[in-house]
Chain A
Amino acid sequence: MSRSDRAAERLALAAEAARNRALRPARRDDLGLRRALSDRLLPFLVAAMTFLAALTCAGFVASSGMAARWRAGAAAGIVVQIPDPGAPAADGRHTRRAAVLARLATLPWVASATPMSEGALADMLRPWLGDSAANLVVPLPAVVVLRLTATNPLPPDAAATLDTVAPGTLIEDPGLWVTRLTRLATSVQALSFLVLLIVALVAVSVISVATRAGLAARRDAIAIVHLLGATDGFVAGRFARRIGRLCLLGGLAGAVASVPVLAALLGLSAPFEAKGGPAIPLELGALAALPAVTWVIGWGTAQVAVRRWLARLV
């Protein structure tokens, strides 16, 4: 066969396929599922569950974000606050700030001691004090961020050591509260995961019940197409298509309904986020995946439920 012959044949096949596609009605409903599986209750239930799932996911993301920030804060170092930094130190020769820095430089457990600039300090306080942080009436303490040498934990007498150099100096080890907060965040995450799992299980049960109701309503029709030689896949496919569609509708409705709620929550938390803003678009974008998930759950559950039911037919 020549090349042009083959091309012509391919063209003819493509034309035939296009004709067939054009003649095919958009959606065939051989089993009458549009009436047997109504488009009211199931989408509503799925929408409600999607809404819950969206809020739970948001809780999960938010708590892991917070935990990550707390851990980063702890890793950023230990904070030394020197009130009244310009006043003379205990030895009377240096300012309190210089004396503390000099003392820190001699300590074996300090890897580095970095004074924080006034600007950085103002940035840190901005969420709580707003822009007035820069021109406060109250004098700000000097803040020095320490990094420890890896081998040494903060010695218990560290506070006392610095206090003798410049009385009133505070050294704060965030390790303890970060550990506690991280534990809290982890529990919140585990709980969110559990809630998601329960929501998914309830969804699967609800969809199974709906599918079985549809099977019962179309028992005779199914028995007939079965006798006409329909495979399990044919019947299960029709159910899965219908149920998947209803679940997709519900998923979309639930996701859309959750957007204003989540946006409001994000707005409330915005001032506490790090500079540069939270990844709002990313987290809201993840909502778009929820309807896809509901579709998969609906489609898969229907497939399994129908095939199990059909296995009883001879």
Chain B
Amino acid sequence: MVVRLDQVGLRYGPSGEDEVLRGISLAVPQGGFRWLQGPSGAGKSSLLRLLYLEARPSRGRLSVLNTDIPIAETRLGRGMLARLRRRIGVVFQDFRLLPHLTAFENVALPLRIAGRPEGQVRADVQEILAWVGLGRRRDAHPQELSGGEQQRIAIARAVVHRPALLLADEPTGNLDDAQAERLMQLLREMNRLGTTVIVATHNAALVRRHPGPGLFLDGGRLVGDEADGYHEPE
């Protein structure tokens, strides 16, 4: 299983505050696809944060890319965490682009962190920028880009290094319908090639157009998991 949670709880800040995620158990296999759904504040971003290793669970057992991630207090090999993170692509809900870098350099970041040769970096970044339709804006800084353009840069950065696990938090929030369709096409294609994909979204129309098994969160609890016995609607 690429992702496995067993009775996972998460609380932010010092203990005593309410848990944001409570007793979540789920599993997503290699090459799986999941819609992560639920009302605002349900804990979708928090669950993704656990998966891209920004937060550590406060209880339960979590395993990502077949590696056990111990709970908050336990120290973990920093090198190992970094290696895991390099195999995960994330589209953050708030993009998190580096403001002092151009679009090109932002997208190149995962490849440079992975130490890829510069020739390959150029080719790959150019290709994915063209794919998201921003080949001409490669030298623009994030603050010179529209919300949708920034989101497409964030998407390009998440997929440029062909991650094994792709986590997208509301990736169509700023996109028009045509761009959203194009994004789904990309996600489907990556999924078909073996990438495990989890997409958090409010966009019910998008989910209707691209049916897939859903995970439903509400108030920090997993209230629905369509993984078993999911059938493509006719």
Contact A232 B105, beta carbon cutoff 8 Å: no
Is B113 a contact of A234 with CB atoms below 8 Å?
yes
Complex Cα gap A32–B142 (Å): 14
Cα distance, A227 to B88, chains bound together (Å)? 9
A8 within 8 A of B: no
Contact with B along A12-32 (1 / 0, CB 8 A): 000010011001110010101
Query: Is B54 in contact with A228, judged by CB distance below 8 angstroms?
Result: no
Chain A residue with minimal CB distance to B98? Answer: A221
Interface size on A, as a range, is 20 to 34
Q: Taking the nearest CB of chain B, how far is it from the CB of A242, in angstroms?
A: 14
Whether B100 contacts A314 by the Cβ 8 Å rule is no
Chain B residues within an 8 Å CB radius of A35: 100
Q: A24-B118, A32-B101 given as contacts; is B90 within 8 A of A227 (CB)? A: yes
Contacts of B157 in A (CB 8 A): 228
- Give complex CA distance A67, B151 in Å: 72
Q: Is the CB of A229 within 8 A of B119?
A: no
Q: Does A263 contact B (CB under 8 A)?
A: no
Complex Cα–Cα for A232 and B112 (A): 14
Residue in A16, A229, A314 whose CB lies within 8 Å of B113: A229
Say yes or no: is B233 at the interface (Cβ < 8 Å to chain A): no
Q: Tell me the chain B residues, 70-104 only, with Cβ under 8 Å from chain A.
A: 78-79, 82-88, 90, 96, 98, 100-101
A229-B82 in contact given A32-B100, A314-B54 (Cβ < 8 Å): yes
Q: Is B52 an interface residue (CB 8 A)?
A: yes
| B96 and A224 contact, CB distance less than 8 A | yes
Q: How many angstroms from the CA of A314 to the CA of B56 in the assembled complex?
A: 8
> Are A23 and B119 neighbours in the complex by a CB distance under 8 Å?
yes
Contact present for B101 and A228 (CB under 8 Å)? no
Q: How many Å lie between the Cα of A23 and that of B78 in the bound state? A: 31
| Chain B residues near A225 (CB-CB < 8 A) | 98, 109, 113
**Are A20 and B119 within 8 A (Cβ)?**
yes
Is the Cβ of B109 less than 8 Å from the Cβ of A228? yes
Which residues of B lie under 8 Å from residue A16 when comparing CB positions? Answer: 117, 119
**In the assembly, what is the distance between CA of A16 and CA of B82, in Å?**
28
5 A-B contacts, Cβ less than 8 Å apart? A20-B117, A225-B109, A226-B82, A229-B82, A229-B113
Q: Can you add 16 more A-B contacts, CB < 8 Å, to A228-B109, A314-B56?
A: A19-B119, A20-B118, A20-B119, A20-B120, A30-B112, A32-B98, A220-B96, A224-B98, A226-B85, A228-B85, A229-B85, A229-B88, A229-B114, A230-B82, A310-B78, A311-B78
Task: Please give me the 5 A-B residue pairs with the lowest Cβ-Cβ distance, nearest first.
Answer: A229-B86, A229-B85, A32-B100, A20-B117, A24-B118
